[in-house]
């Protein structure tokens, strides 16, 4: 055996050695630590875990908040990664995200953690026990439902910061709740154009398109 052949296994063993230490190193200068428990989602500025509820907005504070973009609402979302991405979307645009139960996951789901969330992001989130609670807490807001059943395009609406952009659950075994997406509380139904016979966009991709169109119309107020 040559000297090079003898060194190769040793180098491979060294590179694969102590993976916990390598992960810990990755988080050394950030808010995240590798030894969080599975039910810990958000941290304060010092890296200490805090409860999800403590980090979120109340419905009353959300209704009273002055926003530069419309509010975003996910009715009964089922995929934690989509909601994690939406939370980050709302944090960077100054949008308030309303999540209406029942949710298809626990808010402490580790897939939400993988979105890189911290408590600053969760400060843009409101949790409602049902849809009636959302409607009652935002009586002066227009609800604009995004649905494939609409004929009007999303670009044909003049958005206001007080609007609520409503998105239903991700496709699955449960049918779309048309009593929510087309009920009397809905002021407008709009859709995103797509090529025919193709599957729908990812939920948060759709929400991102809608939020940025509304923010563009409003002059990207608060952005840079």
At 85-122, the pLDDT tens digits run: 999 999 999 999 999 999 888 887 666 766 667 777 88
Residue 176, strand partner residues = none
Contact 41, 117 (CB under 8 A): yes
> Beta strands 49-50 and 42-43: pairing type?
antiparallel
Distance, CA of 210 to CA of 155 (rounded, Å): 9
Round to the nearest angstrom and report the end-to-end CA distance of the chain: 62
CA dihedral of residues 143, 149, 151, 157 (deg, nearest 10):
20
| Residue limits of CATH 3.40.1280.10 in the chain | 51-217
Residues belonging to the binding site are 168, 192, 200
Fold of 51-217: Alpha/beta knot (3.40.1280)
Phi and psi based region of residue 116 (left: phi greater than 0; alpha: psi -120 to 50; beta: remaining): left
Q: What is the pTM of this model?
A: 0.78
Residues belonging to the binding site for S-adenosyl-L-methionine are 168, 192, 200
Distance, CA of 224 to CA of 213 (rounded, Å): 16
Strand blocks (E) in 109-191: 125-128, 143-146, 152-153, 164-167, 186-191
Number of neighbouring beta carbons within 10 Å of residue 175: 9
Give the pLDDT score at 31: 38
Token code pair at residue 141: 């807001």
pLDDT of the chain, 224 residues: tens digit per residue? 555 455 444 444 444 555 545 444 434 433 344 454 444 556 777 777 777 778 899 999 999 999 999 999 999 998 888 999 999 999 999 999 999 999 888 887 666 766 667 777 888 999 999 999 999 999 999 999 999 889 999 999 999 999 999 999 887 655 568 889 998 999 999 999 988 877 678 999 999 999 999 999 999 999 98
């Amino acid at each position: 055996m040559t000297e090079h052949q003898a060194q190769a296994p040793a180098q491979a063993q060294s590179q694969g050695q102590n993976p916990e230490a390598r992960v810990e190193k990755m988080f050394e200068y950030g808010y995240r630590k590798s030894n969080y428990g599975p039910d810990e989602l958000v941290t304060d500025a010092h890296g200490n875990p805090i409860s999800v509820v403590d980090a979120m907005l109340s419905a009353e504070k959300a209704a009273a908040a002055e926003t530069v973009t419309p509010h975003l609402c996910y009715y009964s979302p089922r995929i934690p990664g989509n909601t994690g991405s939406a939370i980050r979307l709302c944090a960077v645009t100054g949008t308030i995200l309303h999540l209406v139960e029942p949710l298809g996951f626990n808010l402490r789901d580790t897939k939400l953690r993988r979105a890189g969330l911290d408590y600053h992001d969760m400060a843009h989130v409101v949790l409602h026990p049902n849809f009636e609670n959302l409607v009652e807490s935002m009586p002066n807001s227009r609800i604009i439902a995004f649905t494939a059943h609409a004929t009007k395009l999303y670009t044909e609406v003049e958005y206001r910061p007080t609007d609520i952009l409503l998105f239903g659950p991700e496709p699955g075994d449960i049918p779309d709740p048309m009593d929510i997406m087309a009920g009397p509380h809905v002021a407008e139904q709009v859709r995103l154009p797509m090529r025919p016979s193709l599957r729908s966009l990812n939920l948060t991709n759709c929400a991102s398109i809608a939020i940025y169109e509304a923010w563009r119309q409003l002059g990207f107020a608060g952005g840079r």
